[in-house]
Chains A and B, each alone.
Chain A
């Protein structure tokens, strides 16, 4: 099928390898991948801050570029939730409402797409390391995405997955929250890091690069020995 890949702003700028990995995986599975040039951001920052009009200015081009898409795969849980769950709210009462409602069922976060839509769980990956998984809040609670990442990891050869106690606890990123309330954000991140370190895993895996940015940022500053990696990067590993 023809897959329209939506790459969030931070994946584009800072974690391109995540997007590249996704393209490779989807193409290896025999699908065509297209990536619209225009939209760079789903509009969540303005939306979460309460500036819905300004958010719409960013989101309308997204809607328009995705209009004819057969299926849209989004490279993060939080942007996935924005397109799938929040666009209908954002555009409610505007002339784009119908478009937003039409888009929602076509949207999938990457791991949910593989498992739920394509029915694929084994990508022949090999990752000989001990890992733990961080559930990004949007992916977990808005998209109900608990199982797909774990099903995918279960088929990675030589991997050892250990769940951390605080797997479902927010990492503290929360978009602009991390800058508006940096000390609370940091405390939350510290709780997350401590829980991950308790598992003695070498890697923290997640479907959300924004969460990993927060976690890695803290780990680097505090010089902790655990690394972060996106699920897609694990899945292309041989």
Chain B
């Protein structure tokens, strides 16, 4: 990146009201450092504690989701990006990570199911999942689906997502997830 490109990059980030953006290897210590930064930035910019807590919660669910489920890259660590933006009205929390093609069907099913629910349905399903001690038979979610339900509870609009093919990687796709708070 040239100095000129840096200027354009910064201007774009500024115009998009980016509070924090990270792209790279996602490790425990990266998540710990980023979550501290997010919390500090929210202390300065969130209108109240309730909003700050919701944004922080969405961030943690996404970061730990990447950490736990994204397939490791060549160097053994999952790779992804995490973004928090703050427009005039709302906070947007986004993440992006690789998934294996074999995970797509189940993932889509889960997110679509949560997207269609009303808040009351989200809460009822959350309670049901919490009481379901059988765990997750397919082993995809260590939080037994509570992660997406938690995100949906924090968000003020249905969570949104995209699954995008990766050029040159026939076995993998990219998963983009957005929660608006």
Is the pairing of A and B real? no
Interface residues of B (CB under 8 A from A): none
